[in-house]
Amino acid sequence: MKLELKGITKRFGTLVANDHIDLVVEPGQVHSLLGENGAGKSTLMNVLYGLYDPTEGEILVNDKSVTFRGPGDAMAAGIGMVHQHFMLVPVFTVAENVALGNEATKAGGMLDLSDTRAKIRAISDQYGFDVDPDAVVENLPVGVQQRVEIIKALVRNAEVLILDEPTAVLTPKETDELLGIMGQLKADGKSIVFISHKLREVKAVSDVITVVRRGKVVGTADPGASTTELASLMVGRAVSLTLQKEPAHPGEVSFSVRDLVVQAANGQRVVDGLSFDVAQGEILAIAGVQGNGQTELTEAILGLQNHVRGSILLDGQELLGRGVKDIIRAGVGFVPEDRSVEGLVGSFSVAENLILNRYDQAPFARGLSMSSAIIEKNADEKIAEYDVRTQSAAAAAGTLSGGNQQKLVMARELSRPLKLFIASQPTRGVDVGSIEFLHRRILQERDGGTPVIIVSTELDEVLELADRIAVLYRGRLMGIVPGTVSRDVLGLMMAGMPGDEALAQATNVRGEMQ
Amino acid sequence: MSVQESQPVAGSPTVMHRVMTGNALVAVLAVVMSLILGGLLIALTDPDVASAASYFFSRPQDTLAAAWSAASGAYLALFQGSIFNFEGETFTRMIYPLTQTLTVATPLICAGLGVALAFRAGLFNIGAQGQILIGATFAGWVGFTLDLPAGIHLLLVILAGMLGGALWAGLVGVLKARTGAHEVILTIMLNYVAVNLVLYFLSTPAFQRPGSTNPISPQLDATALYPPLLGPEFRLHWGFVVAVLATVFVWWLLNRSTVGFEFRAVGANASAARTAGISVSKGYILAMAIAGALAGLAGVAQVSGTEKVLTSGVAASFGFDAITVALLGRSSPWGTFAAGLLFGAFRAGGVTMQASTGTSIDIVLVVQSLIVLFIAAPPLVRSLFRLPVPGAFPAPKSAKDRTSAATGGTA
Amino acid sequence: MSTSATAAPVRADAPSGGVRNWKNPILLSVLALLALLVFALGAPANDVTFRLSDPGDALALPELVLSAPLIGWITALGMLALAAFVVARTRRGEPAPRWLLAAFAVLFLIGFLTWVVGSARTPNVALYGLLAGSVTLAVPLIFGSLSGVLCERSGVVNIAIEGQLLFGAFAAAVAASLSGSAIVGLLAAAVAGVMVSLVLAVFSIRYLVNQVIVGVVLNVLVSGLTGFLFSAVLSEDSETWNSPPQLPVLSIPGLSEIPILGPILFEQTIVGYLMYLAVAVVYVALYHSRWGLRTRAVGEHPKAADTLGVNVNRMRFTNVLLAGVVAGVGGSFFTLVLVSGFGRDMTAGQGYIALAALIFGRWNPIGAFFAALLFGFATNLSNVLSLLGTPVPDQFLRMLPYVVTIFAVAGLVGRSRAPAASGIPYVKG
């Protein structure tokens, strides 16, 4: 099936998310849509999938113009979509999720899932998915849930499959498996629209690459193009992919974690016996695929987790068992992974957000009474220093762009003397210009002699910032390796191989190749 | 959780902005429209209108005239009963209605502030009714059991009432903080527990009036009563001053204090608050306790202001009206104060209306709930009056909006 | 969105120990000790008589005469044993099985009933009447909680059950009086319920007003409207407006003679039979039909349903209207069966008890049915006991549904898990 988008424009109020985008997806082709976060890729795909009405432009299927009033129409036309956040009902079984919206019924509208089960088994066998139709989705690992999403599309006879950032939640091994599945689908004559901002993956699977920037198509490239070439096309200017940074001068170890165990409410050990040290003036990056205990680790340090055992020492003082406020006052700065949920109160003003964890301390408050004059003055200073683009200090933080929100959080955390700085996903969803700024700020803090912990699922970021890298897999430490280690080693460790084995294997492979 | 948050107003933080986008206009139109609908209802059920309608097609103007006189008569009585009685012979009689309005508004304002405060902390306090009752029970007991000098007695009555409400509501805060139980369900259920509890107390010797078999307490001691504010010819008592002070206090608490900052942060985004070191549990418990104490003040206003005895009906329906008051006041302290005055006027005037024109006071409930419905849905009012949509926000639907909406769900 | 959708691929390798839930064992132990103290040690030294059938019945059963201390000790010791078992299991990190909780509840109920009736001035109660009366009182509760199930399962919180019942009762009385036909009244009640639902749906789905607010305000509105019309119209000429004919009781010959169960199952009005039918239909449809699958999907993860072409808001709209039909019919029970005429605020908070039953029944039609029966039983027991003269103040029995619900939502009695999207308006994008 041939799919064509002609002059698609989508406006939200004054914001132009898509600006006259043209795109042709030929049958049996993997067509990658490459662009930064917020470039308008997802909006475009939601238009294509009938979730949004385009403001202008048309969609052509096999050269015939079509209008989609909803996802139902798009599916009927042979378009399937695997969303970045899975669209699965957690309490339903696989079969129920697959059948939903397309249910076979017996007399009186009674459900008949037998046909659906058979289809799931057939597809599962064909592609080697290993999915049980009667398993409840919330009990399945993320990789399997993603396959359920693909099954959903295939059962509906999708000819074009849209995969929206599908590798964000996968381990390198699962990613490889997914890329394999994409190959199989392509061989069966399906077309795939692959949305990603990860250059390596895009280069690996694509037949055609379309680069989107600020809602516009800025060019096409073929998979042979170099990474730097693609990156500068994506960002709109020449980018140095590596940050100029001075080598670290680690001082004494002032933060250490010993035998840390964090249990989830159901008793699962989400952090399982971690021990590590961070020295003053060094950056320890915690790498790993999302959901391998990183969140719980940082939250445990900050006192946000309930079932924690072990020891967390800052300057020789035990943090474990102390309240969040106490730990913040002890000098721990924390940039949470989801700033809009944990880092900011969206309906509060920029000024209020800048004192969110110091609202009750001098000079902002005296006793129970707060001083708005000092709070505003503080805001003006921080806005200038961190170049936060906002209409005013009184504007609601929720109205700021992602990058500016992150600057706001960073400004708050770095504007007091710290003894430990933890930043989770410091640049997720942030435009490239801000990324550089934020990275420099983090390095500045390191060079000022603060122990820094960076948690990131982006290998690029880890490699760029880290002096040492700790890799987490299923809550366990796979090892701590130098910041100069190769991507392959990290990939193996992220898939659960202990550090020394991974180092050895990577060396062997290189040896054989030579 | 409050009304303004359920609309996509991610980018309109200031009061000025809200006024600019026509919300004040919407409020006025909502009141007007509700009064018109209420008037229609009065007209439709009026016997004169019905008899005139029987010959509607020969003389339609009769029907319309009868309808007009029915509705306007009722509303005129409502006005006369709540603001100013221009038929009064003395100045006292003329302004008596206004003081009645203030008297009725007193518990409405206090309890409304409790509901509003809880709203701001992200808590849906449907339990003002129970909190008033328990507050009144505590206050009443101190009032008719203890024998204390004037001044101290009243002070103790007030404190006891606040304590009763605070305990009853604080229980909700504790249960929510500890178990995650939803406060809507908890407060609704506790309202009914409270009524039964008070009925039980009133059957025990400690509470029941000696010699009576009815569930009624002895009269409160004179030392335990709010003194009249404007002299004995008016029912208005010092409780109204307490209500004004409570409004000032809640304004300061919410807008100028660290505690209020915590409440608002917990209410707007609990997980960000927790990450910033604000104890969400403490916020829930404290916000509910203060809300309950305010509702307890309403109980005090009833038991030692207007009723002077404790019965299971001492709270009337003030606890439920308080919800509509807080909603109409958009959960702001002075907005709640104004809404309390308006609904106080409706209630006070409703009594006069019922007596003089025979229009049932229930029409007040209808008008009140219509006002809140219309205010909660500005787009409806705008489309009915063809008002322009205010400077359309692109309304970024963030995760935060959803969580705040989620607190409206049941447990 | 549920956290589980983005759940970690972390699997528990270690046996799940450490985090144990001590709520159940503590609660059961406390209740068992209470039973020991009150039902066994505090048992009245006399016999208790339970009459199982009406003497006039064709199939008369003998009276059940039990020794109160004996039953007290048996039930108390039984509960202690079960509590000890649960404590032991919790130590090993295993949860209490459901059958055990059910058995505990039954023992407690038997022990309580024996003690409370035994301590009465007249330790003699007609069990058949007690049960039949409970069902009668439970009928509107069951309709109300089914209305809640329909709404909440599709993601709309329904606090307006009270209003739906009250408006249904009002419309039934007026329409039946005017037409002279109880069936017309029944239909009018359904329409009235739908009208309340329509307001709920329009405001919460179309205008995105917080659902709890709409529900609370609607209850006030209906109370005011019916109260106003009652005094302005109904009480002015109650002959014309408020003298509804009653629905006849339709006994099924033979079956209705079965002791205890006969009157409950086979001697009902059409509304009573409709209640049983509604429970069954809603249950089957919810879990086994296309409509049910979509309803639950829309209530759990509306966006997922939307991406599969299910019209979320239309689905919610129809479900809320359907809920109005159900609750409206339930409301008619007040004026066409229980009493012959409408009275101001005559539902007296039953809608809120129905809401409680819905939650206690874990958003499941069958669960809600039994929860409503339990609450009906509590109410009826307090009515019966106040006649018998008992040591328990009847206010405490009247509190029971509310207290039980507080325990339920606080997670002390099992865990209630509401539909994930309940209360959250769905906005595309």
- Over residues B280-291, the mean pLDDT reads 96
Q: Length of chain C, please?
A: 429
| pLDDT exceeds cutoff 60 at A511 | no
Residue B19 has a pLDDT of: 42
From the candidates A14, A295, A298, A341, which should be mutated to test the interface with B, based on the most B CB atoms within 10 A?
A: A341
**3-state class (DSSP) for residue A211:** strand
Angle at which helices C127-153 and C270-288 cross, to 10°: 40
Interface residue C207 vs chain B (CB under 8 A): yes
Q: Which residue has the higher pLDDT, A169 or C384?
A: C384
pLDDT in tens, C307-325: 998 999 999 999 999 999 9
Question: How far apart, in Å, are the Cα atoms of C240 and each of B83, B132, C161, C237?
Answer: 38, 40, 28, 6
The residue in chain A having the minimum alpha-carbon distance to the alpha carbon of residue B269 is: A345
From the candidates C24, C303, C395, which should be mutated to test the interface with B, based on the most B CB atoms within 10 A?
A: C395
- Kindly list the residues from chain B whose CB atom is less than 8 angstroms away from the CB atom of residue C356: 185, 189
pLDDT in tens, A286-307: 998 888 899 999 999 999 998 9
pLDDT in tens, B215-252: 999 999 999 999 999 988 889 999 999 999 999 999 99
Residue C395 has a pLDDT of: 86
B132 within 8 A of B164, measured Cβ to Cβ: no
Q: How far apart are CA A400 and CA A405, in angstroms?
A: 6
pLDDT in tens, A31-47: 999 887 777 888 888 88
- Kindly list the residues from chain B whose CB atom is less than 8 angstroms away from the CB atom of residue C349: 192
pLDDT in tens, B350-386: 988 888 888 888 999 999 999 989 988 888 888 887 7
Helix (H) or strand (E) holding C196: helix C182-201
pLDDT in tens, C319-352: 999 999 999 999 999 999 999 899 999 998 899 9
Q: Which residue has the higher pLDDT, A436 or A310?
A: A310
Interface residue C291 vs chain A (CB under 8 A): yes
B114 within 8 A of B295, measured Cβ to Cβ: yes
> What confidence category does residue A151 fall into, taking pLDDT thresholds of 50, 70 and 90?
very high
B34 within 8 A of B371, measured Cβ to Cβ: yes
Residue B393 has a pLDDT of: 41
pLDDT in tens, C20-48: 677 778 888 999 999 999 888 888 888 88
A·B CB contacts under 8 A: 108
* Tokens read off for B307: 């009723």
Residue whose entry in the numeric block shows the structure tokens 């407690």: C108
Q: How far apart are CA A454 and CA A474, in angstroms?
A: 18
Q: Which residue has the higher pLDDT, C258 or A18?
A: A18
Task: Test B272 with A356 for CB contact under 8 angstroms.
Answer: yes
Chain C, 260-289: which have a CB under 8 Å from a chain A CB? Answer: 284-285, 288-289
The residue in chain A having the minimum alpha-carbon distance to the alpha carbon of residue B275 is: A342
Question: How far apart, in Å, are the Cα atoms of A32 and each of A233, C403, C428?
Answer: 14, 59, 26
Angle at which helices B239-256 and B333-357 cross, to 10°: 150
Task: Test C310 with A101 for CB contact under 8 angstroms.
Answer: yes
Query: Positive or negative, the Cα torsion across C223, C224, C225, C230?
Result: positive
Q: What percent of chain C has pLDDT over 90?
A: 50
Residue B272 has a pLDDT of: 94
pLDDT in tens, C283-311: 999 999 999 999 999 999 999 999 998 99
Residue A318 has a pLDDT of: 94
Render the burial of A133-158: b for 16+ CB within 10 Å, e for the rest.
beebbbebbbbbbbbbbbbbbbbbeb
Task: Test A348 with B265 for CB contact under 8 angstroms.
Answer: yes
Residue C13 has a pLDDT of: 35
Cis bond before residue A426 (omega within 30° of 0): no
Q: For residue C300, which amino acid is it?
A: E
Interface residue B251 vs chain A (CB under 8 A): no
Q: What is the pTM of this model?
A: 0.86
Interface residue B392 vs chain A (CB under 8 A): yes
Q: How far apart are CA B407 and CA B385, in angstroms?
A: 32
Identify which of C54, C109, C51 has the alpha carbon closest to the alpha carbon of residue C267.
Answer: C54
Give C33's contacts (C-beta < 8 A, 6+ positions apart): C80
Residue A509 has a pLDDT of: 61
pLDDT in tens, A369-400: 999 999 999 999 999 999 888 888 999 998 88
Q: Which of A224-233, B401-410, C344-353 has the lowest mean pLDDT?
A: B401-410
From the candidates B42, B362, B402, which should be mutated to test the interface with C, based on the most C CB atoms within 10 A?
A: B362
Question: How far apart, in Å, are the Cα atoms of A284 and each of A270, A438, A500, B303, B350?
Answer: 20, 16, 18, 65, 71
| pLDDT exceeds cutoff 70 at B7 | no
Residue C219 has a pLDDT of: 94
Q: Which stretches of A291-361 are DSSP H helices?
A: 294-302, 324-329, 350-353
Q: How far apart are CA B14 and CA B167, in angstroms?
A: 34
Q: Which of A73-82, B15-24, C334-343 has the lowest mean pLDDT?
A: B15-24
Q: How far apart are CA B35 and CA C90, in angstroms?
A: 61
Interface residue B79 vs chain A (CB under 8 A): no
pLDDT in tens, B392-402: 443 333 333 33
- Over residues C371-384, the mean pLDDT reads 87
DSSP for A251-278, written as a single string: --EEEEEEEEEEE-TTS-EEEEEEEEEE
**Partners of chain A (3+ Cβ pairs below 8 A):** B, C
C-alpha triplet B204, B205, B211: angle, nearest 5°: 115
Chain C, 155-174: which have a CB under 8 Å from a chain B CB? Answer: 157, 159
DSSP for C230-284, written as a single string: IIIIITTSHHHHS-PPPPPPEE-TTGGGSTTHHHHHHEE-HHHHHHHHHHHHHHH
Interface residue B150 vs chain A (CB under 8 A): no
Beta strands (DSSP E) in A26-169 are 30-35, 56-61, 64-66, 79-82, 160-164
Q: In this complex, which of A347, A368, A372 lies closest to B259 when CB atoms are compared? A: A368
Residue whose entry in the numeric block shows the structure tokens 């002609």: A6
Residue A237 has a pLDDT of: 67
> What confidence category does residue C416 fall into, taking pLDDT thresholds of 50, 70 and 90?
low
Residue whose entry in the numeric block shows the structure tokens 């019919």: C329
* Tokens read off for C332: 């008619």
From the candidates B9, B259, B269, B278, which should be mutated to test the interface with A, based on the most A CB atoms within 10 A?
A: B269
ipTM: 0.84
